[in-house]
Amino acid sequence: MTITRSLMISASGLSAERARMETIANNIANINTTREADGQPFRRKHVVLAAGSVSEQSFGSILLRMSDNTPDGVRVVGKSDDQAPFKKVHDPGHPDADPNGDVLMPNIEPVMEMVDMISAQRSYEAGISAIGAAKSMQRKALEIGKA
Amino acid sequence: MLDRLLNTQTFMTAQGAMDGIAARHAALTDNIANINTPGYQRKEVPFEQQLAAARSQGFDAGGRTAAFRPTTITDHSGTARQDGNNVDIEMEMVALADNSLRYEVMAQYVSGFFSGLKGVIQAR
């Protein structure tokens, strides 16, 4: 049923936006992390999104996908590291300071993270509205023949 | 007898319109879900002409709407966005609101059709 499919697509959008939100929270939480497992400062992560099939495994949805052959929804392909250079801060007292007293800090810009966060939040809200609309449409369809 | 009442052109058109509107809703939700996907091209379902064509051919011989299947097309129009995504969230949200209203109209129409039919059957 097409409206059920709309709901699945919206749900995939919501989980993609939530994945973005989690990554942003992780970036902000690690804004002062100077040492990761590899000894390097923390690198800013961002989520890679791609248009693709929602992972609905019912017979109907697979048949539908095979018959019209259009990928639906969005999926998180993975996370990638931001290759921007680290910020150098002069702090001789820091345990990770080099002989010159400089410390490499993560390449995270708080302003950028905040803007990304607002974008993720608004996109999530748009998805919620789409779900609301789909639900009210389905309810209207169920009312056919009631009166 | 019931077949003759239910398979009228008008009723079949209403049924096809509901199918088309539901398919368009799936396309719109897809566009909204992919608002942040780089390179995504928006989808649309311009089913009206298709439905009009199916209607002028009297749908199919069995009097079913099977001949009419709304097709989803991809809109390759250009974009001002850096990431190559051509979804405009305002347009999508407005289209979504418009589309749900259209669905309600059709649902109400079909509902009215059935209650009229019921009235006739009960001879009231």
- HEC string for B47-115: HHHHHHHHHHCCCCCCCCHHHCCCCCEECCCCCCCCCCCCCCHHHHHHHHHHHHHHHHHHHHHHHHHHH
Give the pLDDT confidence score for residue A129 in this predicted structure. Answer: 93
Q: Does A127 touch chain B (CB under 8 A)?
A: yes
Average pLDDT over residues B85-113: 92
The two structure tokens encoding residue A36: 């990761």
Give the pLDDT confidence score for residue A60 in this predicted structure. Answer: 62
pLDDT by residue (tens digit) across A72-86? Answer: 788 888 899 999 999
Residue A83 C-alpha, separation from nearest chain B C-alpha, in angstroms: 18
Average pLDDT over residues B30-36: 92
Which of B25, B90, B118 to mutate against chain A (most A CBs within 10 Å)?
A: B25
pLDDT by residue (tens digit) across A22-52? Answer: 999 999 999 999 988 888 999 999 999 888 7
Residue A6's Cα: distance from chain center in Å? 19
Element (H, E) at A102: strand A102-105
pLDDT by residue (tens digit) across A2-27? Answer: 777 788 889 889 999 999 999 999 99
Say which DSSP state A42 is in. P
Q: Does A13 touch chain B (CB under 8 A)?
A: yes
Q: What is the dihedral of CA A82, A87, A93, A98, to 10 degrees?
A: 80
Q: How far is residue A139's CA from residue A141's CA, in Å, rounded to a whole number?
A: 5
Query: Which chain A residues are Cβ-neighbours of B111 within 8 angstroms?
Result: 143-147
pLDDT category at B80 given cuts 50, 70, 90 is confident
State pTM to two decimals.
0.77
Q: What is the dihedral of CA A19, B86, A136, B109, to 10 degrees?
A: -160
Average pLDDT over residues A134-140: 90
Q: How far is residue A74's CA from residue A87's CA, in Å, rounded to a whole number?
A: 34
Q: Does A16 touch chain B (CB under 8 A)?
A: yes
Amino acid letter for position A68: D
Q: How far is residue A51's CA from residue B62's CA, in Å, rounded to a whole number?
A: 38
Return the residue of A nearest to B105 by Cα: A140
Q: How far is residue A64's CA from residue B16's CA, in Å, rounded to a whole number?
A: 18
Q: Does A72 touch chain B (CB under 8 A)?
A: yes
Euclidean distance between the first and the last CA atom of chain B, given in angstroms as a whole number: 19
User: Across the interface, do B26 and A49 touch by the CB < 8 Å criterion?
Assistant: no
Torsion sign, CA atoms B11, B12, B13, B17: positive
Q: Does A49 touch chain B (CB under 8 A)?
A: yes
Average pLDDT over residues A45-66: 70
Which of A3, A4, A7, A137 to mutate against chain B (most B CBs within 10 Å)?
A: A137
User: Across the interface, do B37 and A74 touch by the CB < 8 Å criterion?
Assistant: yes
Burial category of B58 from C-beta neighbours within 10 Å (exposed 0-12, middle 13-18, buried 19 and up)? exposed
| Percent of chain A's residues with pLDDT above 70 | 86
Q: Does A55 touch chain B (CB under 8 A)?
A: no
User: Across the interface, do A13 and B32 touch by the CB < 8 Å criterion?
Assistant: yes
Task: Output the CA–CA distances (angstroms, integers) from residue A30 to A95, B46, B114, in the order listed.
Answer: 17, 48, 62
Which of B15, B18, B30, B102 to mutate against chain A (most A CBs within 10 Å)?
A: B30
